């Protein structure tokens, strides 16, 4: 049984339990539901390097990344560093996150926030809106084409932007629809956890220009960023590289400042 399958099965149980405790109308009363959405797409297009800094405490591939970090401090550090956006893991069992992390992040930044979650139900999208997210993540490897279409259209109806994550050409073919804003290439193989940024390079030419494209996972240095920009990538989602440090905000600041220096 793959880890992705395990996560999705866990998510189904979580969603049914949450629906019993909080109705759709309850979610619409959450503080974040009435706020104006900040555009993730515009933020990436208006920044030369488009660093999306991620907040996560652990992952299935690394059981402990940074369990003692403070959401407020990290998010403020990311904004001060010059990040273009923030990604918040809200899965608790596998990534150590929570909805509270997203709420706290929203209170501490005006940057656009991506709710990084294993979304399989409209309920989670409504929840994302209520928590203060500006964009949602859909993972092509765990959704059929019809589900991608329906979920992305529902998100757009709420004013949220949609980032869809792919790993190969077959997944990309299911994602080329008007209700998708950003296509992210995940360089991590979800079956083996191996990372190869050539995955982004190989798929870049197949992603139509009307979609913003970002590269995710395994990016660790300036050279890789510059190379990926040459392939048309406008954003780079980075989590572990910053979160593994004692002060993720300072790590992000050092990385982004180095990007700004002229290439020798």
Q: 194 pLDDT band (50/70/90 cuts)?
A: confident
* Nearest alpha-carbon partner for 207 in 231, 226, 242: 231
CA dihedral 126, 127, 132, 135 (to 10 degrees): -60
The backbone torsions φ and ψ at residue 81, rounded to the nearest 5 degrees and listed phi first, read -75, -20
C-alpha to C-alpha distance for 153 and 175, rounded to whole angstroms: 12
50: region left, alpha or beta (phi > 0 left; psi from -120 to 50 alpha): left
Q: Is the pLDDT of residue 87 over 70?
A: yes
Pair of tokens at residue 31: 């503080």
Name which of 68, 148, 149, 160 is nearest 115 in CA terms: 160
Instruction: List the structure tokens of 1.
Output: 């049984």
Q: Which two tokens stand for residue 246?
A: 């004692």
Number of H helices, E strands in the chain: 12, 8
Quote the pLDDT of residue 264: 62
Structure tokens at 133: 């997210």
pLDDT band at 4 (very low <50, low <70, confident <90, very high): confident
For 42-83, write each residue's pLDDT tens digit: 999 998 899 999 999 998 877 788 888 899 999 999 999 999
Scan for tokens 């992952």, then name that residue.
59
Residues found in the chain: 264
Residue 21: its pLDDT value, please?
Answer: 94
Average pLDDT across the chain, whole number: 94
Report which of 104, 107, 108, 124 is spatially closest to residue 116, judged by C-alpha positions: 124
Q: Which value, in Å, is the radius of gyration of the alpha carbons in the chain? A: 17
**Per-residue model confidence as pLDDT tens digits over 238-252:** 988 999 999 999 999
Helix ranges, 46-144 (H): 71-81, 99-108, 122-131
Q: Read off the pLDDT of each residue in 95-103 and give the average, rounded to a whole number.
A: 95
CA pair distance 128, 134, nearest whole angstrom: 8
What gap in Å lies between CA 202 and CA 205, rounded to an integer? 7
What pLDDT score was predicted for residue 214?
98
pLDDT digits (tens, 9 = 90+) for 116-157: 999 999 999 999 999 999 999 999 999 999 999 999 999 999
Q: Please report the domains of the chain, with CATH numbers, ordered by start residue.
A: 3-260 (3.20.20.70)
Catalytically active residues, by annotation: 54, 56, 116, 165, 186, 216-217
- Do the Cβ atoms of 239 and 68 come closer than 8 Å? no
With CA atoms as reference, report the closest residue to 118 among 86, 74, 150, 151: 151
What's the confidence (pLDDT) of residue 2?
81
Over residues 189-203, the mean pLDDT reads 89
Q: Say if CB 241 and CB 219 are below 8 A apart.
A: yes
For the cut 70, the answer to whether the pLDDT of residue 1 exceeds it is no
pLDDT digits (tens, 9 = 90+) for 198-215: 999 999 999 999 999 999
Burial of 154 (0-12, 13-18, 19+ CB in 10 A): middle
The pair of structure tokens assigned to 166 is: 């792919």
Distance CA 204, CA 187 (A): 12
């Amino acid at each position: 049984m793959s880890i992705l399958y395990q996560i999705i099965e866990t998510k189904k149980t979580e969603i049914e339990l949450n629906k019993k405790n909080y109705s759709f109308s309850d979610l619409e009363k959450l503080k974040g539901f009435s706020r104006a959405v900040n555009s993730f797409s515009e933020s990436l297009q208006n920044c030369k390097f488009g660093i999306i800094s991620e907040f996560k405490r652990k992952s299935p591939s690394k059981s402990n990344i940074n369990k003692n970090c403070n959401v407020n401090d990290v998010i403020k550090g990311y904004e001060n560093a010059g990040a273009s956006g923030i990604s918040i893991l809200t899965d608790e069992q596998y990534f150590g996150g929570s909805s509270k992390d997203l709420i706290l992040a929203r209170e501490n930044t005006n940057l656009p926030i991506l709710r990084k979650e294993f979304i399989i139900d409209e309920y989670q999208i409504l929840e994302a809106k209520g928590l203060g997210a500006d964009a949602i993540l859909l993972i092509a490897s765990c959704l059929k084409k019809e589900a991608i279409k329906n979920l992305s259209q529902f998100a757009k109806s709420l004013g949220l932007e949609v980032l869809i994550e792919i790993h190969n050409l077959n997944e990309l073919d299911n994602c080329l629809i008007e209700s998708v804003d950003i296509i992210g290439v995940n360089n991590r193989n979800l079956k083996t956890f191996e990372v190869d940024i050539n995955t982004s390079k190989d798929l870049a030419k197949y992603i139509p220009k009307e979609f913003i494209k970002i590269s995710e996972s395994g990016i660790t240095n300036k050279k890789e960023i510059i190379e990926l920009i040459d392939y048309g990538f406008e954003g780079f989602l980075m989590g572990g590289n910053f979160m593994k440090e004692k002060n993720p905000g300072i790590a992000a600041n050092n990385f982004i400042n180095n990007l700004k220096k002229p290439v020798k």
